[in-house]
Structure 1
Amino acid sequence: MTAVLDRPATATARRGLFLPHGVGFAGISAAMVAVLVAAGAPGPLLPIYQAQWGFAPWVLTLAFGVYAFALLVTIPVVGSLSDYVGRRPLMIGSLALDLVAMVVFLLSPSIGWLIVARVVQGVATAAASSSLSAAVVELAPQRHKKLGAQMTSMAPLAGLGIGALYSGLVAQFAADAAFAVWLVLVVVMALATVFAVFTPETATRKPGALASLVPRVSLPKQVRRLYATTVPGIVGAFMMMTLWMGLVPVVLVSVFHVRGPIVGALVAFVVFAVGAGVSASTSSVRPHLLRLAGMSGMTVGAIVFVGAIGAHAQALVWVSALLTGAGIGSAFAGTTRGLVPEVAPHERAGLFTAIYVVGYLGMGVSAVVAGPVAGVVGAATMASWFGVVTALVTLTGVIATARFNRR
C-alpha cells in the first residue's frame, strides 16, 4: 500500500519564486472551492434568465445538463495529464479557462451564450478537478496529510453550497442579480489564476503527455474491486446534487407554491453545508463505515423527499435535505479516504478522474432526461420518480459495500 503521506522528493520549488507549501495548500484549497462556487452559482439565476428571455422550461435542465456532459467528455482526456506535465500548468490553464467562462456569463445576451458559458465552465472544471485535487493532497502539511484527502471530499460540497446560497441571496435582493454574481466571480477567478502561478509544483514530470490525451479512464488495478463498490454511491451523490440544485427549485414553485429564489438556494445550501460538515467531522471513522452510512442516508433522504411531495409537506423537504446532505458528505468522504491511500502519487489524478467520470455521467444523464419527462408528466411526478430511482441506486451501493466488507 502506498501512503498518501509521500511527496516526491524531486518535486521541489525554487525558494523565492514560489509560495511555501503550506500557503500553497491553503490557496489551492480555496481555489478548488471557488471553482465549485462558480459551478453552483447558475442554479438560482436560471429562473431569472427564463423570465427575461422567455425560453421553454426544459431549457433549464438542458443548461444544467450540458455542464455535466462537458465535464464528462473532458475528464477522460485531460484527467491524467497533470501526472505527466505537472500539477501547476494544468491548474493555471484550467483556472484561466474558468475565468473566460465567468466573463462569458457576465456578458451573455441570450440563453445560447449562457449554454456556451456552461460548456466552457464544464471543460474548465473538468481540467481543474483532478489537478487541484491531487495538488491539495500533495501540498498538505506533512503532519496533517489526512487533511489533504479530507479537503478533496469537503471542498466540492462546500463550494456548491456557498455558490447556491451566494447566488440566491444576490438574486433575492439585487436589482441586476446576474451581473453582480458574475462580476464578483470574475474577480475571484482572476485572483485564483494568479495564485496558481506562484504555487510550487508537487509532481515530477514524465514522458507520455500526448499519449495520455487519448480518452480513457486509468484506474490502478489494486483499487478496482473497491472502486466498483463505491460507484453506486458516487452516482447517487451526483444525482442528488442534480435534484437539489436543478430540480428542487422547480418543485418548490409547482408543488409548494414558493416564490422567490432564496428558499431553493437555502435548501441547496443546507444539503451541501451538512455534507461538508459531516465530511470534516468524521476523519476518525473508518472509510467503509462512512460509505455504508452515507449511502444509507441518501437512500432514506430520497424516500423522505418522495414522501414530502406525496404528502405536500414542505417540512419533510428540509428533513430530506438534512439526511441527503449527511449522506453525500459521508459517502464522498468514505470514497476518497478509502481509495486515495491505496494508490501511488502518480496515480492520484487518474483515480480522481475515474471518480468524477461516473459521477458526472449520472449527473448529466439524469438532468437531461428529467427535463422532457417533467414536460410530459409534470414536475411533481418527475421529481418523485427521480427520488425513487436515486434510492434504488444508493441501496444497491449499500448492499455491494456490505458484501465486499464481509469478504
Structure 2
Amino acid sequence: MISVRVNRHRPAALPDMAAFWGVGFTLGVFMFAASAPAPLYRVYAARWHFSALTLTAVFALYAVGLLIGLLVTGRLSDHLGRRPVILASIIVEILAMICFILANSTALLCVARSVQGVATGCALGALSAALAELSESKGSLLGTVVVSSAPPFGLALGGLGSAALVQYGPVPLRLVYWLIIAGLVVGAAVVATTRETVERRPGALASLKPVIGIPPEARSTFVAILPSLIALWALIGFYLSLGPGLAASIEGSPNLLWGGFAVFCMCFCGGTAVVLGRQAAAPRAMFIGCLALFAGVGLTFIAIVAGNIALFLTGSAIAGVGFGLAFLGNVRAVVQVAPPAQRAGALAVLYIVSYLMFSVPIVIAGIAEAHISAHDVALIFSGSVTLLAAVGIAASLTQRTRPTPAVQAASTRPEHSGAPTKAP
C-alpha cells in the first residue's frame, strides 16, 4: 500500500482558528441532534402507543449504533485523515435526519436512531482529534476545552430547543430535524475547507477490524478515570431517556418544556463549568467534578422523594457542573498521555465506555419499570450514580497525569511552533 504524505504546511482555505471553531460547531451539531429526540419520545409514545420498555429500546439503539461506529471506524481517521471520516459521518447523519422526518411508525424511528448512532460514532473520534490538533499547533488548551464542552452545550440546546419547537412550533415532529440538516451542511462546508491535521498512512483497512485497546502509555490513566466516566454517562443517559418524563411527573404538567428544561439545566451547567474551569489540571477537574456530581445527584434523589421540581432542577444544575468538570478532566488526561498517532483510537475507546454506560443502565431501568414504579427506578438509579461519584472522588485523588515522551516529542517537532498541549 502506498503511503501518501499530507503537506501540513499547505495553505488552507480557512485559518486554523476559524477551522477550529467550525469543527467545534460541527461536534456541537452532532450532540444537539443526539438529544433532540428526547422531548419527542412522549409524543411518539402517545401517537404510536408504545411502552416505557420500547422507549428505552429505541434509546438504546442509538447507543448500539454509536458503539458500532466507534468500534469499526474509531481508528480510521488516524490512517485516512480526519476530513474524509468527518465528511462521511455528516452524510450518514443527514440520512438519519431524513429517516426521522419520514418516520410514521416505531420501526422507522428505530432505523433513524440506529443510523444516527452509527454516524455519531464515526464522527466523535475524528472530530475530537481534529480539535485537539488544530489548537495544539498554536500551543493552546482550547482543544480539550471544546471537546469537553461541545457535548454538554449541544445536548443542552438540543433538549430545550427541541422541546420548545415541539410545544410551540409548526410541524413539531419534523422542524427540528430540518434545522439539524442545515447545521450539518454548514459543518460539512467548514470541514471541506479545513487543512488535514495528520499524515495519511497505511493500514486503513486493517484499522476497520474492531479493536478495543488503550495505548500502554495511557492505561493507568484510563483505569483512574473509569469510575467517574461511568457515573457521568449513566447520568446523561438517565436524563435523556427518563428525565423528561420524570420532570413532568414531578411538576404534574403536560408541558414538554419541563422535560427539556431539566436536560438543559444539567447539560448547560456542564458546558459552562468546562469553560470556567478550563485552566484546571486533569486531576483537579476530576476531583471537583466528582464532588459536584455527588452533591447534585444526591440532591435530585431528595427531590424525587419530596416531589419538589425546584429542588430537582437545582440538583440537575449542580450535577451538570460535576459532569462538565469531570469529563474535562477525563478528556484532558487521555489527550495528555496518548501518543498523537494513537490519539483518535484512544478517544474512541473513551467514548465506547461512555456510551456503554449511557445505554446499558437505561435498558435495565426500562426492564425494571415493568416490575416497579418509575419513581422507584429513578431513586435506585440516582442512588447508584451517587455511589459511583463517591468512588470517582477517591480515584481522582490518585491521578497524576504527565505527557508521555511520545507526546512531548510530537509537540516539539518543527510543525508545532507552540507549547505542547498539557494541563497547567
TM-score band, normalised by the shorter chain? Answer: over 0.9
Query: 11, 16, 35: which one pairs with 1:15?
Result: 11
Find the counterpart in structure 2 of residue 91 from structure 1.
Answer: 86
What SS does the corresponding residue of 2:104 show, helix, strand or coil?
Answer: coil
Find the counterpart in structure 2 of residue 35 from structure 1.
Answer: 30
Find the counterpart in structure 1 of residue 414 from structure 2.
Answer: none
Distance 1:235 1:346 in 2: 26
Structure having the higher helix fraction is 1
1:132 is the counterpart of 2:132: no
Distance 1:367 1:57 in 2: 11
Find the counterpart in structure 1 of residue 247 from structure 2.
Answer: 252
1:201 is the counterpart of 2:196: yes
Distance 1:79 1:187 in 2: 26
Are 1:11 and 1:202, in contact at CA under 8 Å, matched by a contact in 2? no
- Note the alpha carbon deviations across 1:336-382, whole angstroms, 9 max, x for none: 12221222221210111121011101111011111121121011000
What SS does the corresponding residue of 1:284 show, helix, strand or coil?
Answer: coil
Distance 2:279 2:213 in 1: 29
Query: 375, 379, 395: which one pairs with 1:380?
Result: 375
Find the counterpart in structure 2 of residue 239 from structure 1.
Answer: 234
Find the counterpart in structure 1 of residue 98 from structure 2.
Answer: 103
Query: 210, 222, 239: which one pairs with 1:215?
Result: 210
Are 2:283 and 2:399, in contact at CA under 8 Å, matched by a contact in 1? no
Residue 143 of structure 1, CA deviation:
3.8
Are 2:93 and 2:120, in contact at CA under 8 Å, matched by a contact in 1? yes
- Note the alpha carbon deviations across 1:153-209, whole angstroms, 9 max, x for none: 011111111111110110110242111111111222223223322221111011111
Aligned AA for 1:264?
G
Distance 2:280 2:248 in 1: 39
Find the counterpart in structure 2 of residue 166 from structure 1.
Answer: 161
Find the counterpart in structure 2 of residue 351 from structure 1.
Answer: 346
Find the counterpart in structure 2 of residue 371 from structure 1.
Answer: 366
Are 2:150 and 2:271, in contact at CA under 8 Å, matched by a contact in 1? yes
Distance 1:331 1:65 in 2: 24
Residue 286 of structure 1, CA deviation:
2.1
Distance 1:121 1:236 in 2: 24
Alpha-carbon distance change, 345 to 405 in structure 1, aligned in 2, over 3 angstroms? closer
Distance 1:204 1:269 in 2: 39
Residue 102 of structure 1, CA deviation:
0.8
Aligned AA for 1:46?
Y
Query: 287, 293, 302: which one pairs with 2:297?
Result: 302
**Pairwise CA RMSD:** 1.8
Matches within 5 A, 1:279-358: 279-358=274-353
Find the counterpart in structure 1 of residue 50 from structure 2.
Answer: 55
Distance 1:182 1:283 in 2: 32
Are 2:101 and 2:173, in contact at CA under 8 Å, matched by a contact in 1? yes
Find the counterpart in structure 2 of residue 178 from structure 1.
Answer: 173
What SS does the corresponding residue of 1:268 show, helix, strand or coil?
Answer: helix
- Note the alpha carbon deviations across 1:221-276, whole angstroms, 9 max, x for none: 11211110101111111111112221122212334422211011011111111100
Alpha-carbon distance change, 125 to 11 in structure 1, aligned in 2, over 3 angstroms? farther
Aligned AA for 2:324?
G
Distance 1:352 1:311 in 2: 40
Distance 2:300 2:308 in 1: 9
Distance 1:309 1:217 in 2: 38
Find the counterpart in structure 2 of residue 5 from structure 1.
Answer: none
Distance 2:307 2:103 in 1: 37
Find the counterpart in structure 1 of residue 412 from structure 2.
Answer: none
Find the counterpart in structure 2 of residue 69 from structure 1.
Answer: 64
What SS does the corresponding residue of 1:376 show, helix, strand or coil?
Answer: coil
Distance 2:399 2:200 in 1: 36
Are 1:255 and 1:380, in contact at CA under 8 Å, matched by a contact in 2? no
Aligned AA for 1:263?
W
Distance 2:213 2:201 in 1: 16
Query: 389, 394, 400: which one pairs with 1:399?
Result: 394
Aligned AA for 2:212?
V
Are 1:295 and 1:397, in contact at CA under 8 Å, matched by a contact in 2? yes
1:148 is the counterpart of 2:158: no
Residue 57 of structure 1, CA deviation:
2.5
Distance 1:244 1:46 in 2: 13
Distance 1:143 1:123 in 2: 32
Distance 2:48 2:302 in 1: 34
What SS does the corresponding residue of 1:176 show, helix, strand or coil?
Answer: coil
- Note the alpha carbon deviations across 1:23-66, whole angstroms, 9 max, x for none: 21121111110111111100001111112222223211111111
What SS does the corresponding residue of 2:324 show, helix, strand or coil?
Answer: helix
- Note the alpha carbon deviations across 1:108-167, whole angstroms, 9 max, x for none: 111110111110000000000000011111112744520111111011111111111110
Distance 2:149 2:247 in 1: 27
Distance 2:242 2:346 in 1: 30
- Structure 2 gaps of 5+ residues are 402-424
